[in-house]
C-alpha cells in the first residue's frame, strides 16, 4: 500500500480551517501531519483573529497535531510575511510535506496568490471546502457539532453587538443582508472550541470587547479552571 501524501494545514484558529481539517481527514486522501499558524509576536495572538496563544496551543493538542508558529511583527510588510512563510514551509517540504490545506471558500485572488507561492517550493495547495454554498456550509458546521465564537468583526459590515456571539443559527439569522454566512469576505472571524476535529471541547469564557484599528475584537479566554497540561503537540 502506498503511503498517503503528507500535508500540513494552514490553521487560522477559526471554524473554516478546522472544518477543512475534518473534511481532509474524512476523505482519507492525505495524511495531515501538522498545523501552521501565523502569530503576531508583540501581542502573542493569532494574526487577524486575535486569539490568545494559549488557546491556539490547546487547539493543536485537542486536534492531536504538532503546531508550527510563524511569528511576524505588527505591522507586517507583505515581503516580510512572504519570507517568514517560505522559511517555515521550506523545512516541512524537505521533511516530505507535499500539500498545504486551506479553509478558503471562494476568493479566487487569494487562492491564486497562495498557489503561486507554494509552487516556488514545489508544494500543492488543497482547498477541501472550495466552492461550497456558504449558507449550507455554515449550517453543516453547526449540525456537525462545531462550536465557535466571533472574536473579530468589521463594524462597517456587521453589527458590533454581535462581537463574541456564538456561531449558531441565531447568529446566521442576525447577520445583515450581503454578509457572507461564513464571513469569507472578512466580515468576521471566529475561534473554534469544539467539533469533530477535536478529541474534547475547550472550555472558554467571553472577556471584554474593544475597538482597535478599525475592527472590533472580543477577548475569548480559557476558563480559569482549565488544565492545559503538557502540550507535546505544540512546538515554537
Do 220 and 207 meet the contact criterion of CB atoms below 8 Å apart?
Answer: yes
- pLDDT on residue 176: 86
Residue 52 is placed in which grid cell? 490568545
- pLDDT on residue 9: 98
- pLDDT on residue 3: 86
Report, as ranges of residue numbers, the positions in the chain whose pLDDT lies below 70. 1-2, 225-236
Do 32 and 101 meet the contact criterion of CB atoms below 8 Å apart?
Answer: yes
Domains of the chain: 6-225 (3.40.50.620)
Across the beta sheet with 204-212, the strand order is: 188-194, 147-153, 215-222, 204-212
- pLDDT on residue 110: 94
- pLDDT on residue 60: 98
- pLDDT on residue 116: 94
How many angstroms separate the CA atoms of 15 and 211, rounded? 22
SS3 172: helix
- pLDDT on residue 225: 64
- pLDDT on residue 51: 96
- pLDDT on residue 226: 58
How many angstroms separate the CA atoms of 139 and 130, rounded? 16
Amino acid at each position: 500500500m502506498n503511503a498517503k501524501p503528507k500535508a500540513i494545514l494552514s490553521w487560522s484558529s477559526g471554524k473554516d480551517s478546522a472544518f477543512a481539517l475534518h473534511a481532509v481527514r474524512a476523505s482519507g486522501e492525505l495524511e495531515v501531519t501538522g498545523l501552521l499558524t501565523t502569530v503576531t509576536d508583540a501581542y502573542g495572538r493569532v494574526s487577524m483573529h486575535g486569539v490568545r496563544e494559549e488557546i491556539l496551543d490547546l487547539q493543536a493538542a485537542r486536534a492531536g497535531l504538532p503546531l508550527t508558529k510563524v511569528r511576524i511583527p505588527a505591522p507586517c510588510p507583505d515581503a516580510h510575511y512572504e519570507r517568514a512563510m517560505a522559511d517555515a514551509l521550506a523545512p516541512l517540504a524537505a521533511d516530505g510535506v507535499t500539500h498545504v490545506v486551506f479553509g478558503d471558500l471562494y476568493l479566487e485572488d487569494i487562492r491564486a496568490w497562495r498557489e503561486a507561492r507554494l509552487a516556488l517550493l514545489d508544494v500543492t495547495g488543497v482547498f477541501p471546502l472550495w466552492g461550497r454554498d456558504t449558507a449550507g456550509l455554515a449550517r453543516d458546521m453547526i449540525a456537525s457539532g462545531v462550536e465557535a465564537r466571533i472574536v473579530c468583526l468589521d463594524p462597517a459590515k456587521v453589527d458590533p453587538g454581535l462581537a463574541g456571539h456564538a456561531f449558531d443559527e441565531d447568529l446566521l439569522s442576525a447577520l445583515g443582508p450581503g454578509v457572507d454566512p461564513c464571513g469569507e469576505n472578512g466580515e468576521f472571524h471566529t475561534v473554534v472550541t469544539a467539533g469533530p476535529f477535536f478529541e474534547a471541547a475547550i472550555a472558554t469564557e467571553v472577556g471584554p470587547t474593544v475597538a482597535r484599528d478599525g475592527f472590533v475584537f472580543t477577548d475569548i479566554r480559557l476558563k480559569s479552571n482549565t488544565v492545559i497540561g503538557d502540550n507535546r503537540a505544540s512546538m515554537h
